[in-house]
Amino acid sequence: MNTLNFWLAGLPRWAKRWIMLTTDALALPMLMYLAFAIRLGLWLPPLSSHTILMLVLAPLISLPLLYLQGFYRTVVRFVGSEMAWIILGAATITALALGTILFMGRVAGVPRSVVIIFWALSILYLGGSRLLVRRYLAWALREVGERVPVAIYGAGDCGVQLAFALSQGSVYLPKVFVDDSPNLHDTVIQGIRVVGRNKLGSMLARHGIKTVLLAMPSVSRQSRLDVVHFLDNFDVQVKTVPGLPDVVSGKSRVEDVHDVDIEDLLGREAVPPDMDLLQASVTGRAVMVTGAGGSIGSELCRQILAQKPSRLVLFERGEYELYAIERELKQWMVTRKVTGIDLISELGSVASRAQVEHACRSHGVETLFHTAAYKHVPMVESNPIAGVENNIFGTYHTALAAQAAGVGRFVLISTDKAVRPTNVMGATKRFAEIILQALADRGGQTVFTMVRFGNVLGSSGSVVPLFRKQILAGGPVTLTHRKITRYFMTIPEAAQLVIQAGAMAQGGEVFVLDMGEPVRIYDLACNMIRLMGFSVRNNANPAGDIEVRITGLRPGEKLYEELLIGPDSTGTHHPMVMQAHEPHISWQEVVAILQMFEQALKVRDRRQLLSLLRRHVFGYQPAQPQADVVFLGERRQSRA
């Protein structure tokens, strides 16, 4: 049987078309003869000249009509409702033509009702035969080759489309639908049974299913997370279908299943942006982004470009990073036929006040987003001199350059690690906030503000790509502490909220983004292992695939992050943006402290820099002794 199935599947399209034409050419005269038999009540009605004429005319009229309407160009496996209209139209026109011939030709001995009976029989045959062939081909494809049996979670429109697409393919074989709607339980869709959660276990065992496909592209993140947690109870790999925007745009097909992105299950539901706030400080304006090639900087550039500024200045120290983001944005503009925006690349360092000021003046910058900073906690912990130079003095020089060039709005991208910091990175970012708060108090033309948030998914330092790489390598997945938690947000939403928060600034505000509930990283690692089709190896399951190994907290790392230094915060015009009210110091005090930092930098005195940070950054308490490791060109300091 498999040999026949392979032969049928391998026939060229023209051969299949001629087989159908030949079959119909033989069947239609037989249907006309059957119409005579039904009308006359005879098993074998006599073949008169008039009867033979009708047997010949039936295919001569029907087949050209069907062919011209594309009936024989349709792939039988994918026939749908449009086929019914073609059959109905061709059968009706054929019947009318035959009736006209009988009437105009005054053909005797042929009952007029024969035409009506033939009309009904031809519709039943043409439609029924194609449905039977489609059913046979679907069965034959199941028999040809080895296909993976799967359950589809979600029996809505997307799930039904997925089942149909997969049934025509050669990779997956849908065996059962799972849906949470009681109205669908124990129904049958496309020959596939729909069950509730309570029957999933028995269906998985009966059909040997090891893969569940999530066909719920439009449900909330919390609902998807609930389903994934439920599926943790079974030894199955979980995959998902593309989102509806990707399917509609043609970027993906509904049957392009892939691993569940853990990013889809983290954080809270994204909130649509307030378009007035999103456009207020960027649309039609000259905007500059420092650190434009970084994770946050590059996404800010994408979001800003979408709001059609008059000019976008990409300021970046890394040559390749600048080249990559410039090329991407230019391609985006070409693809979408966006014109009237000047895209300018500036290769420079925020540590150079002259470079930043020249870029702001020459391009008439009105809004500046300052994202350039060292953000990797262990690296900055080992290199406090570089951290102070880039995060503190880079912000200081960039802010003064923007003020001197008449920039209207300056937005600093800060971090939750600036709150009661336990590491050098957080302490330097907090002092960068202090600089801007003092500049705002001093007054002037430039509005200074800062936006504080936690981890973003997909950034260069995110744990998600690291965990994924470790799982694909066979493990172990390394984790610093079993109880460590972090906030998460997607990069696009963080960038949008930064732009909106910056538009609300009046001067000196510390805006804090709503990051949702914190995520326990151990649970994140275990979920990723299970979603990628593996099991967690632990005491309860020593035969598992991947181990989660605890390595101990790194220098400067703490178990949880905070977003507010004090308890005082208020809401803003945007539901996902809060404003923190925190103590700060005067500009004169800031200048005096910066002078002490400068003196320590001149002699590369790490201990003095760390002492100054402990003294002048509220709440800074190093979690562990400073590592005596030197990177980024720093000179090793003695511990004498």
Give me the sheet containing 211-214, strands edge to edge.
188-189, 192-195, 172-178, 148-153, 211-214, 237-240, 258-259
The DSSP letter of residue 396 is H
Integer Cα distance of 60 and 593 in angstroms: 98
CA-to-CA distance for 366 and 408, rounded, in angstroms? 5
Compute and round to an integer the Cα radius of gyration of the chain: 35
* 3-state SS, residue 511: strand
CA–CA–CA angle 279, 283, 288 (5° rounding): 105
Q: Name residue 200's amino acid.
A: L
Closest to 79 in 3D by CA, of 15, 175, 168: 168
d(CA 529, CA 469): 11
Give CA–CA dist 53/149, Å, rounded. 53
Question: Degrees (nearest 5) of the Cα angle 89, 90, 92?
Answer: 65
Residue in the structure block whose two tokens are 């470079």 = 355
User: Which CB contacts under 8 angstroms, 24+ apart, belong to 192-198?
Assistant: 192/152, 192/163, 194/155, 197/230
Q: Is 469 a catalytic residue?
A: no
592/599 Cα distance (integer angstroms): 11
Residue 485 one-letter amino acid: T
Which residues partner with 7 through β-bridges?
none
In this structure, what DSSP letter does residue 106 have? T
d(CA 456, CA 458): 6
Query: 175, 239, 375, 417: which one is catalytic?
Result: 417
> Annotated catalytic sites, by residue?
417
